[in-house]
Chain A
């Protein structure tokens, strides 16, 4: 299988991380998922059996179709994505390079965080509101049937309070914390090396295990 037509810009985009061999593999996988169509629709992800048990699978699949993640000008949700888009999403998960300088690292980090942020910010208003946060936590905890929704809510409330105290500090009396903005999000992540966590090993390894 040859590298698809759309890969020229993509390879320049991903030139750092993804070798042509990996793109080939991804393309095979893409075709397998899309059942030899040019685009993938949401339903195609239902055919992945391992994904079924993932508590936040909805959010993740959603992220694949989120136009903000696809580096498109417009906002909203794409109906279907082509291989290029697929690669774009995958590129969020590439690991850091040994030879990256500070500035690159910073941009790299922000990109990854943006992806995550978009996943939480489901109404695309640039803020993770309490309700959105609650939804995420509820989904995260949905794997445990014994934890009630209420505890998920109180956890989300607690996390939100914590976020507010981290981001705003002491608030004025009639100040109201509306939600976590991306700047706040960055602040919250200061302590964690996201670049060392958010990556998939596959995207760095030359030899590809074919699992199907």
Chain B
């Protein structure tokens, strides 16, 4: 129905209706069903089908046994029956035009775009053989055999058909259908080679089907008397034209698509649109000149993917993926449902038992014979032969589907007298293959013990080895002087690298495009995500616990113990942790540190973001990637570090030294982890002998720097970290018992007065190391071991850290050039603090601890001269979270705290 109204939806607002042609009275509302009828019906059908899908999947048991396509066909039958009963005539059916123009393209595009291209081209020979020779054989054999059956007088005399009619029918009934194959095989999970052969065949046989169908159709129309020898030649020629032409159209549009996406940097939002639009135009263009449209879209999808994926943004990639899957899936749903609905329309078909049974028998037989014969020939050339079981699955997996149905509906009843018989037979064949074979193929595959696909994520080593393989094989072919498959693949890759990729990919994308790197990058991100996920879990638990934290004891009972249980479960990597028995309180301290760290994570990120606003702000995703990458590397390095420590633990001297250093600024190190790590390990290492031998985290070294400068005052300062909080309570008069529970260690030498009650961390008085053992970073490592237990591996870490820096910088160069600057930047603002320390140690330390308790104004007032340092904003960022932590307690005023703080620092 043509839409007449210019604006408005189904209901036009009253203000818009008074027009010149207004009827007698002004209408308040107008019923415009006719105008929205068509789209409304389409929407309704899609909705019904999608809802049905939800219902099907409510029961796992049903969908695991019955393929979705079967269920949809049955649903269609049911709905068709209802419509038939209500309207007394079958209103809806699968319209060939609609099928070919709207329903088929998304499915083909989806399968082409997500086709594993390497696998596809590795098996292209077999696929082509089955698609071309197999389909030819099937259609001729089926057609002739049926004709024989007819001649033998076994069929109803009403079937008026000659050889040409049967050949025409054979051509449309013998093609394996991509939609049906995909629907069934996706749930079966046979091994990849088998799948790609069956599925590739179903896609590529379209050209053969189209040509045979058209040729025979024209022969039927001409009548057998008027067919000349030249027509046969034309038929053969048109096969090449249709198939190669279709492929060429696909390649052309793939090229265009890749080229266009190269320039969409400023209009990211329409990137996905181009993918769909150009692929669809390719389909239409091929259809327009009656080339094989399926081939066109398939090859467009296969060939453009590499370049398009490299060009478009991550978000667009996701959009493309999901939109494509959604479209394909809904098309498929509608196709199967309408197949069911169409079958109800009895006026269209006439039953003939002999024809139906004969067709069923012949297509199964000839498919099996064809597969066996072709496989026999192919196995002589194939390096991995297809065994008997594979052949059975291939024969049995030859499903027919909607393409056959649409083609048979398209037949002209005037020309093809037996159309109704053919329609009935096609429906039965399609239903039989989809329902019976679809239902039984899964048990069959299990019974035959067909090699299943193992869906494991590619490991880095596998990727590396496969690459090495490709090169080795190409080299051996070169050496032997045999220009085989690997030779040509190698040549193509060189050509692609030299010209095509340069032309079709963005410079930035091209530069970093490398499969190995991609895999590495993805693995890193994946590891990191899982790490962050697991860590995030802990964090969130901690956050939940925070508000309801009136006293430390309750906290320790609820979340902290859980936290510890979790962290305790993992293998403890650190000997130092193992060999001292942790007191409960120390554990709490460690957990508390976790809580704080968890809440400190975000602000840093936010701060980063606002900081880099001065530059081109990087894509959020990229930033996130970077963040994740960093997290990941940090984790790796930390596990690594723990090894390092252990290695060093034998040298007790070095260890003590290190410990002493570490102690100085535990919190700074935690907070600044990402910042300090970027510090190139240059001078920071200066006076630590063992570090030169094998560099460790810079995190450690920054601590050293800190401690180096503040070595003298260390005694006074250390342990201040959480004191601020203690002092609050001191001020409020709740003093000592509470204080003891506070995290962290006030070293005995530094704690006179109220502070000396602190018992737990100071079990062994003079050494700060012991207390430190229990403390955050140690707990941290134990936790890390939990998160990454499978990953915690250690290798001799010659200069991991360098590698880390480098990979970070390379990552940042992906993101945006300014990103690289962040390293030096951070470093710069880490330095002022450090340099100040000698003079104003009492101020520098609070500044570190301020990230936990002190609002920025305190620290600012404490060190007015370093106000300009970028530390300021960060602290402001941190503040909100501090506030949330304090919510549960009596809100303390800044003043007393500051006083206290001063006291503490003067201690």
Contacts and interface: CB of A to CB of B under 8 A. Distances in A.
A148 B646 contact: no
A57 B99 CA distance: 52
A158 B480 CA distance: 35
Interface string B484-500: 11110011001001000
Instruction: Name the residue among A50, A51, A119, A211 with the largest chain B CB count within 10 angstroms.
Output: A50
Interface string A174-205: 11111000000000110110001111111011
A208 B481 CA distance: 10
A158 B464 CA distance: 11
A78 B666 CA distance: 57
Contacts of A64: 479
B454 interface: yes
Contacts of A158: 460, 520, 523-524
A93 B477 CA distance: 10
Contact of B517 (A116, A151, A175): A151
Interface in B444-491: 454, 456, 459-462, 464-469, 471-487, 490-491
A15 B108 CA distance: 47
Given A57-B475, A165-B793, A197 B469 contact: yes
Given A174-B575, A200-B473, A200-B484, A192 B791 contact: no
A59 B790 CA distance: 33
Instruction: Name the residue among B469, B479, B524, B649 with the largest chain A CB count within 10 angstroms.
Output: B479
Contacts of A54: 471, 474-475, 478, 490
Interface stretch (A1-9, A69-77, A102-110, A137-145): A137-145
SS class of chain B's interface: helix, strand, loop or mixed?
helix
A55 interface: yes
Given A90-B480, A116-B465, A170-B571, A130 B795 contact: yes
Instruction: Name the residue among B460, B484, B517, B793 with the largest chain A CB count within 10 angstroms.
Output: B793
Contacts of A93: 473, 476
B805 to A, nearest CB: 8
A132 B248 CA distance: 45
Contacts of B479: 29, 33, 45, 48, 51, 64
A144 B795 CA distance: 27
Interface in A130-183: 130-131, 136-137, 140-141, 143-144, 146-148, 150-151, 153-155, 157-166, 168-171, 173-178
Contacts of A95: 383
B484 A162 contact: no
Contacts of B468: 56, 116, 119, 136, 140
A87 B491 CA distance: 25
A22 to B, nearest CB: 10
Given A153-B806, A191-B456, A201-B383, A177 B480 contact: no
Contact of B459 (A98, A162, A211): A162
Contacts of B792: 165, 170-171
Nearest to A44: B479
A164 B383 CA distance: 32
Contacts of A188: 461
Interface string B789-822: 1111111101010111011011000000000000
B237 to A, nearest CB: 29
A90 B473 CA distance: 11
A177 B795 contact: yes
A171 B803 contact: no
Given A141-B516, A173-B575, A154 B789 contact: no
A200 B477 contact: yes
Nearest to A93: B476
Nearest to B636: A161
B465 A192 contact: yes
A33 B480 CA distance: 9
A51 B437 CA distance: 50
B571 A154 contact: no
A176 B471 CA distance: 32
Interface in A5-53: 26, 29, 32-33, 45, 48, 50-51, 53
B486 A146 contact: no
B667 to A, nearest CB: 26
A155 B486 CA distance: 25
A165 B806 contact: no
A131 B797 CA distance: 11
B478 A48 contact: yes
Contacts of A157: 795, 800, 803
B497 A191 contact: no
Contact of A198 (B454, B473, B513, B571): B473
Nearest to A130: B795
Interface in B647-687: 647, 649
Contact of A154 (B484, B647, B803): B803
Nearest to B451: A193
B494 A53 contact: yes
A173 B524 contact: no
A98 B465 CA distance: 25
B750 interface: no
Contact of B484 (A131, A175, A202): A202
A45 B476 CA distance: 11
Contacts of A131: 798
A137 B519 CA distance: 13
Contact of B514 (A56, A147, A200): A147
Nearest to A203: B480
B381 A144 contact: no
A191 B491 CA distance: 28
Contacts of B643: 173-174, 176
A158 B483 CA distance: 35
Contact of B471 (A45, A140, A178): A140
7 contacts: A54-B490, A57-B475, A148-B810, A153-B806, A171-B794, A173-B574, A205-B381
The 9 lowest CB-CB distance pairs between A and B, nearest first, are A150-B806, A146-B511, A154-B807, A202-B482, A164-B793, A50-B478, A165-B793, A154-B803, A159-B460
